[in-house]
């Protein structure tokens, strides 16, 4: 028997738009809250350097988005 994959509520196009909106945020407290939500969902699957913190939005669950 094959397992059926459920369709994601937020496809790659919608996630790209969300990413663009996040990039426009300037409030540090909003960005910190987003980071907390993301790390709660994907754990430590992100990169960090002097330019910032980077994560793959495709790994984030629909519930977290």
Tokens of 57: 């939005």
For residue 16, the surrounding DSSP H or E stretch is helix 12-24
- pTM here is 0.76
Cα–Cα distance, 65 to 41 (Å, whole number): 10
Q: Give tens-digit pLDDT for 4-62.
A: 566 888 898 999 999 999 999 999 999 999 999 999 999 999 999 999 999 999 999 99
């Amino acid at each position: 028997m094959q397992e059926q994959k459920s369709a994601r509520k937020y496809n790659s196009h919608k996630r790209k738009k969300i990413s663009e909106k996040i990039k426009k945020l300037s409030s540090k407290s909003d960005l910190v809250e987003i980071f907390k939500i993301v790390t709660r969902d994907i754990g430590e699957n992100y990169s960090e350097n002097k330019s910032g913190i980077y994560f793959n939005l495709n790994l984030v669950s629909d519930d977290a988005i």
